[in-house]
């Protein structure tokens, strides 16, 4: 500590002592209050507080009472009422009164670890504290004070103490220390113990009302409480300079799991995941239900290697067979402060992006996976676009994994008209057929569906139309079920005869497979015409321009894009720029030029949007 600081500290201690002396002596001789103040009913504080205890319903009532009493006569330059939030370890500024105006602070706070702050000093000393430096109040307060108060002030903070600790602080700022200000300080000082009692009751009441909401199924805190804890932990991590990790865990394909087993089984899986996590993390870690099928864990003061080890142990436990829960897999995403980002919002966004990215891995391997934000940082543009479009699809529609539920809903609606069992069987076999196809086809259908939703939204189509296009995109190649494997997976170019067979897949899919299912009849033209060309040179109907249904034109573009950017039996995946160049070249001949423009913009924004 520098000599200057030592002198300053000693001087400030002396000032605090003087302040307390001043208040106490004035308090004892309260009867000597100047005549002018006597008129302002300040002479009977005990009676005042008794009335207050009977009537106050909120902290604001306390504040109103104080302002009313302290404003009479010559009023302080400013008055501040704050409470100590032990749960969040914050000093929360609540109310402010300036001459003639009352204001509420907008959620400003000072971390209790900031021991150089005047308010925090008051909290720790549990005794009246003095300063004449406005800056000591913290930068959070200054913008609220009028310019004329920005010079030197006589600032006193009187703590309200309950159970030996400070629970709230009343701060008064005076331009001059005269008999008026002394009388007001004495008044507040005299009331402090009784005020503390009523304030403590009201703080407890507030706490009960704002208690973290617990999720019924898992017993974990809910998303909104999670957000508060994450804010607090991040502040602490910044202040104490230690790493902080956020792990998002998500049950893979929960919708399919629910459909396959039951919703009750899905709930059991989620509850089991929650209980496994509870057994694997420490008391200082926080577990929350983050979303429908997601759980978040906040892990402070821990090296990333340990966080990964804990997550691996979790996955191992999930993989162990359980007598009353069917097996399920999870995707885990890990982000860490300060490595991945310094800010809360971006940490959460990166965590969600990383989770989406990791789900692709799980989709491919059908097993649980852990993905770090750094994995996403190293991802290719193609992968970023996949993640981006899947997010749009999630936001605006449903993704491939939720198709079964949507289909079932459609079927249920139609069930009154048709033979319900037959319809369900047909759809179940359709879904099964899609699932049984090779890995490429399965991924292709889902990606094309996601891209189609993203492009449909970019065009501004209505939700019902988007859903139709999504289903059509998912089933666009269903007719390939009828094409021999030797042609489908041929490594070289197709002969004319083979091409003729291959070209039948839109009609087989539309007319033979989808048309009999009433619930899917509206997507038949979209599937049938997904190989038509803008210039009328496509197949099977040689439709031209806008005669081709919009949904079919959209599917045609995103189908080509995904085909170009993925490995095929006869060639390797093409770099993104090359694929986009091919699409641009075909604008106006193969594809709708307006839609190509929209798609190109979408790809550009996707490249920028998913960043780490």
Residues of the shown chain interacting with Fe ion in the complex, contacts defined by CB under 5 A: 477, 559
Nearer to Fe ion, 294 or 559 (CB): 559
Quick one: which of 283, 256, 287 has its CA closest to 271? 287
Nearer to Fe ion, 223 or 515 (CB): 515
Nearer to Fe ion, 363 or 477 (CB): 477
As a whole number of angstroms, the distance between CA 247 and CA 372 comes to 9
Nearer to Fe ion, 375 or 477 (CB): 477
| Count of beta carbons in the 10 Å neighbourhood of residue 169 | 25
- Compute the least distance from the CB of residue 554 to Fe ion, in Å: 13
Assigned token pair, 58 = 């909120």
Cβ proximity of 160 and 170 under 8 Å: yes
Nearer to Fe ion, 110 or 472 (CB): 472
As a whole number of angstroms, the distance between CA 109 and CA 121 comes to 14
Nearer to Fe ion, 227 or 568 (CB): 568
Nearer to Fe ion, 357 or 529 (CB): 529
Measure the CA angle with vertex 161, ends 158 and 162; round to 5°. Answer: 165
Assigned token pair, 535 = 């210039």
Nearer to Fe ion, 371 or 456 (CB): 456
Nearer to Fe ion, 59 or 552 (CB): 552
- Compute the least distance from the CB of residue 463 to Fe ion, in Å: 24
- Compute the least distance from the CB of residue 490 to Fe ion, in Å: 15
Measure the CA angle with vertex 600, ends 596 and 606; round to 5°. Answer: 140
Q: What is the DSSP string of 245-303?
A: EEEEEEETTHHHHHHHT-HHHHHHHHHHHHHHHHHHS-TTSEEEE-SSSEEEEEEES--
- Compute the least distance from the CB of residue 329 to Fe ion, in Å: 27
| Count of beta carbons in the 10 Å neighbourhood of residue 597 | 13
Nearer to Fe ion, 236 or 444 (CB): 444
Residue 282 main-chain phi, psi, to 5 deg: -90, 170
Q: At what angle do helices 45-55 and 179-209 cross, to 10 degrees?
A: 20
Quick one: which of 559, 550, 546, 478 has its CA closest to 512? 478
- Compute the least distance from the CB of residue 415 to Fe ion, in Å: 30
Q: Strand 244-251 to strand 165-174: parallel, antiparallel, or no bridges (unpaired)?
A: unpaired
Give CA 94 to chain center in angstroms. Answer: 26
Nearer to Fe ion, 316 or 537 (CB): 537
As a whole number of angstroms, the distance between CA 159 and CA 80 comes to 12
- Compute the least distance from the CB of residue 555 to Fe ion, in Å: 8
Can you name the residues that pair with 82 across neighbouring β-strands?
Answer: 93, 169
- Compute the least distance from the CB of residue 337 to Fe ion, in Å: 42
- Compute the least distance from the CB of residue 360 to Fe ion, in Å: 18
As a whole number of angstroms, the distance between CA 358 and CA 368 comes to 9
Q: At what angle do helices 420-436 and 463-475 cross, to 10 degrees?
A: 60
Cβ proximity of 141 and 93 under 8 Å: yes
Assigned token pair, 425 = 């069987």
Nearer to Fe ion, 415 or 502 (CB): 502
Assigned token pair, 601 = 């913009």
- Compute the least distance from the CB of residue 605 to Fe ion, in Å: 24
Token pair 């998913």: residue: 610
Assigned token pair, 109 = 């706070």
- Compute the least distance from the CB of residue 365 to Fe ion, in Å: 23
Nearer to Fe ion, 363 or 559 (CB): 559
Give CA 594 to chain center in angstroms. Answer: 35
- Compute the least distance from the CB of residue 473 to Fe ion, in Å: 9
- Compute the least distance from the CB of residue 454 to Fe ion, in Å: 16
Assigned token pair, 395 = 């936001």
- Compute the least distance from the CB of residue 241 to Fe ion, in Å: 52
Nearer to Fe ion, 360 or 531 (CB): 531
Nearer to Fe ion, 133 or 500 (CB): 500
Can you name the residues that pair with 248 across neighbouring β-strands?
Answer: 296, 333
Assigned token pair, 434 = 């899609």
As a whole number of angstroms, the distance between CA 444 and CA 450 comes to 10
- Compute the least distance from the CB of residue 432 to Fe ion, in Å: 19
Alpha helices (H) in 397-504, listed in sequence order: 403-414, 420-436, 439-459, 463-475, 485-488, 496-502
Residues with Cβ within 8 Å of residue 6, at least 6 apart in sequence:
none
- Compute the least distance from the CB of residue 530 to Fe ion, in Å: 6
Residue 495 main-chain phi, psi, to 5 deg: -75, 170
């Amino acid at each position: 500590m520098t000599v200057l600081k030592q002198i300053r500290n000693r001087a400030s201690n002396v000032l605090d002592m003087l302040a307390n002396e001043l208040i106490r002596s004035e308090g004892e001789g309260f009867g000597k209050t100047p005549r002018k103040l006597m008129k302002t009913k300040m002479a009977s504080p005990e009676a005042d507080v008794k009335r207050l205890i009977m009537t106050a319903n909120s902290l604001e009532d306390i504040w109103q009472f104080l302002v009313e009493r302290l404003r009479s006569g010559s009023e302080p330059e400013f008055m501040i009422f704050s409470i100590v939030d032990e749960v969040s370890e914050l000093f929360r500024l609540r109310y402010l009164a300036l001459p003639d105006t009352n204001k509420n602070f907008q959620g400003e706070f000072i971390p209790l670890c900031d021991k150089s702050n005047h308010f925090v000093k008051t909290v720790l000393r549990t005794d009246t504290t003095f300063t004449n430096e406005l800056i000591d109040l913290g930068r959070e307060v200054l913008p609220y004070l009028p310019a004329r108060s920005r010079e030197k002030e006589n600032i006193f903070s009187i703590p309200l103490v309950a159970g030996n600790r400070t629970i709230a602080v009343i701060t008064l700022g005076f331009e001059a220390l005269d008999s008026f200000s002394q009388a007001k300080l004495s008044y507040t000082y005299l009331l402090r113990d009784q005020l503390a009692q009523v304030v403590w009751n009201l703080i407890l009441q507030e706490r009960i009302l704002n208690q973290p909401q617990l999720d019924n199924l898992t017993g974990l805190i809910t998303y909104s409480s999670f957000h508060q804890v994450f804010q607090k932990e991040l502040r602490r991590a910044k202040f104490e300079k230690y790493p902080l990790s956020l792990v998002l865990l998500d049950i893979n394909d929960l919708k399919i799991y629910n459909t396959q087993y039951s919703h009750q089984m899905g709930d059991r899986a989620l509850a089991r995941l929650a209980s496994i996590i509870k057994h694997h993390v420490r008391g200082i870690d926080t577990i929350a239900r983050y979303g429908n099928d997601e759980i978040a864990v906040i892990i402070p003061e821990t090296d990333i290697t340990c966080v990964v080890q804990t997550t691996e142990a979790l996955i191992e436990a999930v993989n162990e067979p359980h007598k009353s829960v069917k097996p399920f897999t999870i995707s885990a995403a890990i982000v860490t402060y300060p490595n991945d980002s310094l800010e809360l919002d971006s940490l959460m966004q990166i965590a969600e992006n990383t989770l989406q990215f990791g789900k692709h891995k799980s989709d491919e391997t059908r097993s649980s996976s852990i993905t770090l934000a750094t994995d996403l940082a190293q991802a290719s543009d193609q992968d970023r676009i996949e993640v981006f479009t899947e997010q749009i699809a999630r936001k605006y529609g449903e993704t491939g994994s939720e198709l079964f539920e949507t289909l079932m809903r459609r079927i249920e609606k139609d069930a009154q008209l048709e033979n319900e069992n037959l319809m369900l069987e047909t759809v179940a076999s359709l879904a099964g057929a899609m699932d049984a196809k090779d890995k490429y086809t399965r991924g292709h259908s889902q990606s094309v569906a996601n891209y189609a939703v993203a492009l449909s939204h970019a065009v501004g189509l209505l939700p019902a139309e988007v859903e139709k296009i999504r289903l059509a995109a998912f089933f666009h190649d269903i007719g390939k079920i009828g094409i021999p494997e030797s042609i489908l997976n041929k490594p070289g170019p197709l002969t004319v005869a083979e091409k003729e067979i291959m070209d039948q897949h839109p009609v087989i899919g539309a007319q033979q497979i989808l048309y009999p299912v009433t619930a899917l009849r509206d997507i038949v033209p979209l599937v049938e015409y997904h190989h038509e060309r803008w210039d009328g040179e496509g197949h099977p109907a040689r439709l031209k321009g806008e005669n081709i249904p919009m949904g079919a034109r959209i599917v045609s573009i995103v189908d080509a894009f995904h085909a170009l950017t993925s490995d095929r039996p006869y060639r390797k995946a093409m770099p993104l720029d090359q694929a986009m160049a091919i699409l641009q070249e075909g604008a106006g001949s193969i594809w709708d030029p307006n839609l190509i423009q929209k798609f190109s913009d979408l790809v550009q924004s996707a490249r920028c949007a998913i960043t780490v």
